[in-house]
Structure 1
């Protein structure tokens, strides 16, 4: 096993990611349009409309995590993020374990995110009845297209993702404004829904639950916990980012904060326009239903198109992050077949072999479970625990090794200088 501290240069990789592109990586992975569209219906069933108020709680918590990860990224701005931090702050074996946990999460969530396009969004957008077979083929095609973009040009990938994130920002803000304006004009805003529990009994609503079941309020936190993850992907491209110690920490906390504010306003608007919330608690696409009713089918289709763009961008960033993790671990000789995966194409300046590997693994996961959708969704659900493990370990390492951290290579406290004057 090689020494834990690899070179701090991305040999063969170009350092040309701009501050906005770094922000777009963090924003694109989180993708509130994807997360809220996918998880809002589940929240209505488990927590009722009032579950949206767990969103700011999760945002504040994840913002604190982003500050801590940013402090680490400012001190160890090396591709491989938690794998690198664990290796350097604890020992190579623990770093290897964290690298594999991160790789497992990225491989599974790549399939989970892209599968949403084929299984949930496109059937509604294009008005056809989806099945497991066509969902498999469409998802496989989406992953392949993302892989081709990443393999052939990091610059193209970053530019596309930046454009996609810009569309998401403009689209979500415009949607929020339209929902409030049209809802007010038509007299459909009902803010009492914001405190409604729907079909969920009020008695025991705020209880933590038992050893085998969480209380309704606690279940509501899954909306934010499912959505606001992945912002640390910006740190996984540190060696391709200009001034990473300064840029990456800011990109992460700014992404979480902007996503939190826009997401909360969107949740309030949609929830105030639910009408009778019990009528939509059984809908698979309650957000699309609300927008179709309030803004018309044309804007409803526009929302679904926005969701497709958001999901594709999210999957693109996930696959990109996965390839960089494999490349970083292979550079340190800690990934099976490392000699092959650590190579950077001298013409394209991308780790093509690592991209192929992650793509093939994603396709294998998809193929194995393609006809067993219940097992596939169970796998997706189980994988949502992995980010919590990664964040908990990262925060724990920071707390234990804070005094042993190297000096910050960045600037201000929020731009890479760390927390509470550490540095």
Structure 2
């Protein structure tokens, strides 16, 4: 029996027929996870914020965040291997906990994906393209450019999954090679020119020494603690590979590996790049005042030509990041609609016979993204930080819920399989729980007020729909197809 037929049979055990062509291989799956993480996007976006909140010393929070997120990725990988179905956290929670909680997690995941694609594309329109093309980024221009980028990504996703993956594979390859070369060039050229300042690695910049290491107060986090937002914002989205499970060959093995490899590769390469930039930063206090600190360091060290090439690389990486986010969001919308559990599900559950994509779900998703973009641009004085805050907060909530689910249901999961934590399960769980509790505590800071407001508004909208669904169709409206236990599914697979 071919791998394709085996994967289709596995999907049938969860009550679904094969709707997409399985064309996603090992590198494409890794590329999806790596593109969502996108260290070029995350570091370019948040490095300046870290200089202002924590000083250069804040980069040392990165390795801790990498270890924490790697532990989370291993836990999620174990779930993805056992329930290889599009919808990731929504499917896992619905089947291992209950359909109501699964719907809530699915809605929170949808909230995250809807806002983070806007945050990513807004970054390129507000901080990268103005420098690259030498124009003034006022509110209207930034809104217009972001809107066009969103439309371009939707057009590609809606018309061809094959070409979407080709574009993403090329972008990820360029980002990997480009970031390695850039890091090496920074270190070598700065050393040759004697421009390396090792004291920068231990500098607080303009941040006061008093209370620097403190955990903070009830509504504020300490300066060094805020540095963790660099890793918390960047090293997320690796689970996007699991949302293409029904389009991936041998997803039980390929998807978990893609997730932890993307986190590890991003973590190591990202930290080396952070160290290189910080060593060549010159005066960190002056650099903190810049709106594009990474580009400034590259330009001062390697010259304007390399700086321009860097910006082109960043534009490509950010476009690919937004592309993968939108593709993940459309798949989640489609998956919840297939189960008749998403507003307007009759329209969004259809797969285009011409393109083989969830075209209508893609159109819905991009329209919603445009609305969110308009609202944030119109009502937020600092739209980028607000989007950044919401895009950092929501994945932490999703990861915490997923790890809690695994923690309570791990004994119900079958032993072994294609990806299993085995004897590492308890230490990995301990690390992931400690990390997520700490990470969530950072969002008590008053600067995340608008981000919490976005979450509150979206939760209210979701709750209203959930109540309406239950009132009109009853508890059975939230039933999932083939809701047998995961143990029974695997027992049946082994017998066959």
Structure 1 length as normaliser, TM-score? 0.95
- Alignment counterpart, residue 261 of structure 1, candidates 247, 268, 275: 268
Match of 2:96 in 1: 89
Q: Which ranges of 4 or more aligned residues in structure 1 deviate by more than 6 Å?
A: none
Say which SS state the counterpart of residue 335 (structure 2) adopts: helix
Asked if the contact 1:8/1:239 (under 8 Å) is kept, the reply is no
Aligned residue among 144, 152, 161 for 1:154:
161
The answer (yes or no) to whether the contact 1:6–1:331 under 8 Å persists in 2 is no
Tell me whether 1:360 sits opposite 2:367 in the alignment: yes
Secondary structure of 1:374's counterpart equals coil
Q: Does 1:399 align with 2:407?
A: yes
- Give CA-to-partner distance per residue, 1:73-103, whole Å, 9 cap, x none: 0001110000001101110000000000000
- Residue 428 (structure 2) pairs with residue 420 (structure 1): no
CA distance in structure 2 between the partners assigned to 1:401 and 1:174 by the alignment: 44
1:246 corresponds to which of 253, 273, 276: 253
Q: CA deviation at 1:419?
A: 4.2
CA distance in 1, matches of 2:424, 2:277: 41
Q: 1:8 to 1:420 in 2, by over 3 A?
A: farther
Q: Report matched runs for 1:125-164 at 5 Å.
A: 125-164=132-171
Deviation at 1:134, TM superposition (A): 1.5
Counterpart position of 1:390: 398
CA contact (8 A) 2:201 2:279 kept: yes
Q: Does 1:53 align with 2:60?
A: yes
- Per-residue deviation at 1:406? 4.2
Distance 1:149 1:360 in 2: 15
Are the aligned partners of 1:68 and 1:419 in contact in 2 as well (CA < 8 Å)?
Answer: no
How many residues align? The count is 414
Structure 1 residue 355, shift from structure 2 partner: 0.7
Q: CA deviation at 1:379?
A: 4.5
* Partner SS state of residue 423, structure 2: coil
Q: Structure 2: any 5+ residue segments left out of the alignment?
A: 1-11, 426-486, 488-496
Matches within 5 A, 1:2-401: 7=14, 9=16, 11-374=18-381, 376-377=383-384, 378-401=386-409
Q: Do the aligned partners of 1:22 and 1:241 also contact (CA within 8 Å) in 2?
A: yes
Unaligned runs of 5+ in 1: 411-415
In structure 2, relative to structure 1, the CA distance for the partners of 1:383 and 1:421 (3 Å cut) is: closer
Q: CA deviation at 1:362?
A: 0.6
Does the CA-based 8 Å contact 1:245-1:408 persist in structure 2?
no
| Distance in 1, Cα, partners of 2:159 & 2:390 | 33
| CA shift in 2, pair 1:397/1:367, >3 Å | same
Given that 1:26 and 1:231 are in contact with CA atoms closer than 8 Å, whether structure 2 keeps it comes out as yes
CA distance in 1 between counterparts of 2:198 and 2:424 reads 43
What secondary structure is seen at the aligned counterpart in 1 of 2:229?
Answer: helix
Contact 2:233 2:391 in 1 (8 A): no
Greater shift, 192-201 or 286-295, is seen at 192-201
More off after superposition, 115-124 vs 196-205: 196-205
Task: Return closer, same or farther for 1:296/1:215 CA change in 2, 3 Å cut-off.
Answer: same
CA contact (8 A) 2:92 2:102 kept: yes
Deviation (angstroms), 1:216: 1.4
Q: How far apart are 1:373 and its partner, in Å?
A: 4.5
The 1:155–1:84 alpha-carbon spacing in structure 2 relative to 1, beyond 3 Å, is same
**How far apart in 1 are the matches of 2:268 and 2:199?**
21
Kept in 1: contact 2:70–2:263 (CA 8 A)? yes
Higher relative contact order (CA 8 A, sep 6+): 1
Q: Is the 8 A contact 2:78 2:421 kept in 1?
A: yes
**What is the CA–CA distance in structure 2 between the aligned matches of 1:27 and 1:88, rounded to whole Å?**
27
**1-structure distance, mates of 2:15, 2:324:** 22
Cα deviation digits, residues 146-193 of structure 1 (max 9, x gap) = 111111111110111011000000000000010011011100111111
8 Å CA contact retained: 2:233, 2:388: no
1:365–1:347: structure 2 CA closer, same or farther, 3 Å change rule? same
Partners of 2:95 and 2:172 in 1: CA distance:
33
2:447 equivalent in structure 1: none
Verify the 8 A CA contact 1:86 1:94 in the aligned structure 2: yes
